[in-house]
Amino acid sequence: MTIHGIELPKGSLLIGDGRVERTDAGVFEQVDPSTGEVLAAVTLAGATEIDDAVRAAHEAEADWRGLAPSRRRDLILALADALDEHHEELSILRSLELGAPKKQGKGLNMAVEYIRYFAGWVDKLEGSTIPISSTVLDYTIPEPYGTVAALTPWNGGVVSVAMKVVPALVAGNCVVLKPSELATLAPLRFGELALAAGIPPGVLNVVPGGVAAGEALVAHAGVNKISFTGGTATARHVLRGAAANLTPVILELGGKSANIVFDDGDLDSAVMTTVFTALGGMSGQGCVLPTRLLIQQGVYAELEQRIVAAASALSVGRPFDAGVQAGPVISQASLDRILTVVDAARTRGDGKLLTGGQRLEGDLASGFFVAPTVFGSVDNSSPIAQDEVFGPVLSLVSFSDEDEAIRLANDSLYGLGGLVFTRDIGRAHRVAHALKVGSVGINAFAPMPPSVPFGGVKHSGYGREGGLVGVKEFLQDKNIYVDIGSRK
């Protein structure tokens, strides 16, 4: 099928170098969220296909791990070049699958940068020598786990795949990638490009699937480590599956990031950052997005007014239309859930609905569009302020001073990210250190370059992606003790 000038990838599983087009698990009709129309019938993996994919990864392990580091590095760099060459195609796929504005396709550059950054570590993963005595040589060597299960969310596209899959490959592991069935085409194309770049068959296997596939993968005895990004509730199922084999797990989960704006903060920057991250672009469908805005009382009234005006002025529409700043949510089910959350918040009186709160009709009626929604004067303990909505819904909470801001920000089960807007550098650092989160942006939303670690605390998960620590997540140190004896 050709659409917007590109040929859509086949919606079939990629195991080794073969395609699987029919399974007992059937197919899933992947829908364009901006139109409600079916994009592709995607083959779903079942337990049999998961077993085949794990077997293919195991068969490729020895050769992939045994490659000279320089050769493995060059193959991964070739993958980066392939993604770069297909940037326009992947950008279109992203907009088709997620409904995200096409102009944001430049974010795909992040995937290329992540791959090139990680490739640079292949030949620098060194062990160490440990002084024991003059008659002992003790040293460590970093070893891959073997086969890694990578479960990626629908909202991440090839960026999420690059962050999760490539450091595992750099460390010498093979990967079974299970993307969400809601957005499979870009991950499948990633797998095709990996093969075309020379990555050996079986090193990366792509098996879209639903709940059954995920359960089979995380409980598989042949999986040596799991990396999961998704919701907290699903993470509990992942952990239960992993427990059977004591498989180690990396979890990158949900969030309800607090964006703290003090009286002396740059309000122009705070408004722009808040509206375009929490409500625009991905329409609030991001785990680290600042959907809880804490405003100091001295500027609350002004900032509330400006936030509502900016949110109401957002251009919401289909991804390929000119000037669009925000797209749809991913599915009818997601739309229904978000509107239910909004209605419940209004009924309880969690705060005052200032704008939005409804499905957009007219020319956009066939898509899954929710109007950018803002609640003001929100009680921080209320569900609308505590629960991850995963949609374009922003809660405004007032605070009096620095201590209260920290208390309110930390009053959350989640701990993924946070923002602080202030011109007081001392306060900026005090608050950043006091926030119980994995990352903090001061006077700006942190762009997550590939060299920095990303991950959360509390119910936002554990483990890190990005940076050298993101590569080391897929390595385990082996210690070797050698008694060299004494001269006789």
* Local structure of residue 454 (DSSP, 8 states): B
**3-state DSSP of 18-46:** EEECCCCCCEEEEECCCCCCEEEEEECCC
Q: What is the CA angle 351-353-355, rounded to 5?
A: 150
102: buried, middle or exposed (CB in 10 Å: 19+, 13-18, 0-12)? buried
89 is catalytic: no
Look up residue 106 and give its two tokens: 């430049």
CA separation for the pair 225, 62 (Å, rounded): 17
DSSP 3-state of 354: strand
* Local structure of residue 106 (DSSP, 8 states): G
CA separation for the pair 230, 388 (Å, rounded): 12
Q: Hey, what amino acid is at 483?
A: D
CA separation for the pair 415, 251 (Å, rounded): 13
Nearest alpha carbon to residue 61 among 193, 229, 222, 195? 222
CA separation for the pair 17, 21 (Å, rounded): 13
For the CA atoms of the chain, what is the radius of gyration? 23
State residue 366 phi and psi, 5-degree precision. Answer: -80, -15
Bridge-partner residues for 28, per DSSP?
42
Contact assessment for residue 213 and residue 26, using Cβ atoms and an 8 Å cutoff:
no
178 is catalytic: no
Q: Tell me which of 49, 61, 97, 164 is the catalytic residue.
A: 164
CA separation for the pair 183, 70 (Å, rounded): 33
CA separation for the pair 486, 484 (Å, rounded): 7
287 is catalytic: yes
Q: Tell me which of 252, 304, 388, 473 is the catalytic residue.
A: 252
Q: Tell me which of 102, 178, 225, 287 is the catalytic residue.
A: 287
Cα dihedral: 224, 230, 232, 237 (round 10): -40
Residue 223 C-beta-side C-alpha neighbours within 13 Å: 32
Look up residue 452 and give its two tokens: 């920095």
Contact assessment for residue 58 and residue 243, using Cβ atoms and an 8 Å cutoff:
no
Contact assessment for residue 416 and residue 460, using Cβ atoms and an 8 Å cutoff:
yes
**Taking the chain, what is the end-to-end CA distance rounded to the nearest angstrom?**
78
DSSP 3-state of 374: strand
174 is catalytic: no
Bridge-partner residues for 205, per DSSP?
176
Residues 6+ apart with CB under 8 A from 404: none
Nearest alpha carbon to residue 230 among 272, 191, 179? 179
Q: Tell me which of 49, 61, 181, 465 is the catalytic residue.
A: 465
Q: Which are the catalytic amino acids?
A: 164, 252, 287, 465
